[in-house]
Amino acid sequence: MKRLGVNIDHVATLRNARGEYHPDPLETAKFVKKNGAHSITIHLREDRRHINDLDAKKICSTKGLLVNLEISTNINIVRKALNIKPNYICLVPENRKEITTEGGLNLKKNKKIIKKIISKFKNKKIRTSLFINASIKDIKIAHELNVDCIEIHTGRLANLVKSKKKYFHELNNIKRCSLLANKLGIEVHAGHGLDYKTTKLLTKVDQIKEFNIGHFIIGESVFFGLKKIIHNFKKIIK
């Protein structure tokens, strides 16, 4: 069965805009879990633009929550993540000037440092994932790095679908990469820019086991409520 992971970063964005304590990301994580999400994703960015250290610590230490902690390869962030001990970590590229993550990791360039980081988390029995582009070369490198999972950056597909451009080549590319990853024993996740339509398209890719969705869910919940949007996605990916 396919799983839904909900990224709650932008609940923290909303809280930080007012500089107060509400809405609380921890309470959001509990609510999301109660209403059918398999896991919670949070991104502890170097600039702490949304989730902060205390958020991450409280959420990761709460019994019953499966937490996927997204982090960069920054050594200080890695140390914090090792101390926080989430269920999973996903290494992502990070650029302080970007509004959101703009692509997958450059595995070829950063292979050595990524290998060391993966080893540190495996020694702590923390499941590891890499946020990568839909690239056969990157799938092969991910296998060399001995990661448990990959999360395919679906932003390109999402943009093509939203702009009503031809997306079949990109969708087929994701399928090919997912097939290879599965063959190599790597679990496949998908995330970035996903909405109802792109998620439904990707449910046809049998090898994708988990969808991580954040911005669209939080945005739609302003109009229709968080519970309803989670249930809508659960129906799509069942």
Using DSSP's 3-state secondary structure scheme, residue 176 falls into helix
Conformation bin of residue 26: beta by default, left when phi > 0, alpha when psi is -120 to 50 = alpha
Using DSSP's 3-state secondary structure scheme, residue 41 falls into strand
Going by C-alpha positions, the residue among 173, 159, 149 that lies closest to residue 87 is: 149
Please give the structure tokens belonging to residue 234: 């659960």
Residues 6+ apart with CB under 8 A from 149: 88, 90, 127, 128, 129, 130, 186, 187, 188, 189
Q: Which of 10, 38, 50, 70 is catalytic?
A: 70
DSSP calls for 124-145: TT-EEEEEE-S-HHHHHHHHHT
Q: Is 192 one of the catalytic residues? A: yes
Q: Which of 10, 192, 210, 220 is catalytic?
A: 192
Q: Is 231 one of the catalytic residues? A: no
**What is the CB neighbour count within 10 angstroms for residue 210?**
21
Task: Tell me how far apart the alpha carbons of residues 131 and 104 are, in angstroms, rounded to a whole number.
Answer: 5
Q: Is 70 one of the catalytic residues? A: yes
Q: Which of 10, 38, 43, 153 is catalytic?
A: 43
Going by C-alpha positions, the residue among 86, 98, 100, 74 that lies closest to residue 9 is: 100
Say which amino acid occupies 59.
Answer: I
Question: Is-contact 2 231, C-beta < 8 A?
Answer: no
**Catalytically active residues, by annotation:** 43, 70, 192
